[in-house]
Amino acid sequence: MKLDKLFICQAFFLYRNRKSEMKMEQTQLPNWLKKRAEVTPNRIALIVRDESYTFGQLYAYSLEYSRKFNQFGIRKGNKVGLLLSNRFEMVVAIHAIMNIGGELILFNTRLSSNELSWQFQDSELDFLLSEEKYGDMIQEMNSAKVIFVENVPSLLENDEFVAVEEFTLNQIATIMYTSGTSGFPKAVEQSYGNHWYSAVGSMLNLGLQENDRWLCTMPLFHISGLSIILRGVIYGMTVILHEQFQEERVNRDIVKYEVTIVSVVTTMLNRLLEQMKEKEYPSSLRCMLLGGGPAPLPLLEKCREKGIPVYQTYGMTETASQIVTLSPEYSIEKLGSAGKALFSAQIMIHYDGREAKANEIGEILVKGPNVTKGYRNRKTETELAFENGWFKTGDMGYLDEEGFLYVVDRRSDLIISGGENIYPAEIEAILMKHEAVFEAGVTGCADDKWGEVPVAFAVLQNNVLEKDELINFCKKYLASYKVPRDIYFVEELPRNSANKLLRRDLKKLIRKD
């Protein structure tokens, strides 16, 4: 009898908790751009090619596109792909499809025709929005209907169209494919709730000021770029959009538009500093948000010396952008740390089947409402990616005694040499300490004796440097097994569309002569 009562009590609590979860999943928010256009219609929303658009204008453009897309046949629930560059029409298209209630699937414009063809099929597209310059890349599109944004103004309007009034938090808003470090890339599902909590968590960490202006040079098909566009609407903040990263133009616009926040990765920051030379940034720049992997300590120290407010951050496609960010008050004291989890998120380090101790390196696990529920049509991969509700990032790092995260490297980039773990980022940081080295990349190469040994690739400044000199330099700072077995001087390092270093492609740079 007691067991029956216990079972009934447990069942009741499980039911109540599940009912609470269902209510949360059904939570709705007003259509973001529609609401923003009602609240601050005359505030500048977007600046593209020195042309300014208010939130009221942006919403009007998005409604015009929604009507025309609707006339073309796009309906609520349709899977709509975007193969577009950073341009005004892409921002409008994003909001237009959200007005309709379709699912947005964002494709990397740098992919080959074969890679795109596979993703088009995998995502089961209903429609594809693109531009004419990508026409040759999408010739093999069979099932989806293609709309070129250059032709949108010529489409007829459907005056019967009514925009979606509310977004449901558990509704899938966007889908992005992972970079595919092994096997085929996976389609990451991002809900409206994921984007909303990412924006709110970032704001609670970085703060929000009335004069904030965020400069976006990241591709909008990447989560770092898309998140800026969505935050601009949610915050009521101006976004300055660049088609691509050009250091001279970025430095110019930081001053011209009194930019307060810029998102960069290490190579972009390096190039900005090189172009700036002895000049200083204006006091209006309050945050250089640095993501995309571990940053070399020498670079961070250089920024500190120049008074550049660099805040490291950590995130990924599966976390709808940043999930850990270093708060401003710790930017000096915790130099090199990615910070602590955003307000609604949690992090844990997992090592050998248990929670790691302070300063013990293990896999970074994350949890929170901005974390994806999984991969589209990839049940096995989704199950493997989670453990007791925690998402396994595949990245290595540690928490110090105060709970600050230090990202060490990607687990897939780890070099195991003679049983010793070697993290490429550590060697790269030492290489970049040398005044002649502009940037560096390290990977592991097969070795008969040790299994793997580290091999380095360096892009030099204008200086002339001998390989032996750089190897001897490394010996001053690194254990013997970490010193690169060989160093190749190259003109550039392989990077993806977000300017992240692709260590898996470094071996292709090895010369056979």
Whether residue 296 sits in one domain with residue 360: yes
Which stretches of 79-228 are assigned E, i.e. beta strand? 79-83, 103-106, 127-130, 145-148, 166-168, 172-177, 187-191, 213-216
CA atoms of 395 and 485, how far apart (whole Å): 25
Q: What is the pLDDT of residues 264-297, one digit of tens each?
A: 988 889 899 999 988 999 999 999 999 877 677 8
Predicted pLDDT of residue 2: 43
pLDDT at 318 over 50: yes
Residues 219 and 320 in one domain: yes
Do residues 292 and 239 both lie within one domain?
A: yes
Contacts of 69 (CB under 8 A, 6+ apart): 80, 96, 97, 100, 127, 147, 152, 155
In this predicted model, what pLDDT tens digit does every residue of 129-167 receive, in sequence order?
Answer: 999 999 888 876 656 799 999 999 888 877 778 999 999
The answer as to whether 136 is a domain residue is yes
Residue 24 lies in a domain: no
Q: Output the six-digit token pair for 29.
A: 């928010």
In terms of domains, do 158 and 200 share one? no
pLDDT at 380 over 90: yes
Within a domain: 175: no
CATH code where residue 290 lies: 3.40.50.12780
Tokens for 14, please give them: 């499980």
Segment (H or E) for 314: strand 310-316
Q: Residue 383: which domain range?
A: 192-411
Tokens, residue 164: 């979606």
User: Do 444 and 486 reside in the same domain of the chain?
Assistant: yes
Beta strand 346-351 with 354-355 is antiparallel
pTM of the model: 0.82
Give residue-wise pLDDT tens across range 3-54.
Answer: 444 344 444 444 444 454 555 567 999 999 999 999 999 999 999 999 999 9
Reading the block at residue 156, the tokens are: 């007829």
158 and 198 fall within a common domain: no
Residues 46 and 112 in one domain: yes
C-alpha 302/C-alpha 288 separation (Å) is 14
Opening angle at CA 331, ends 329 and 335, nearest 5: 145
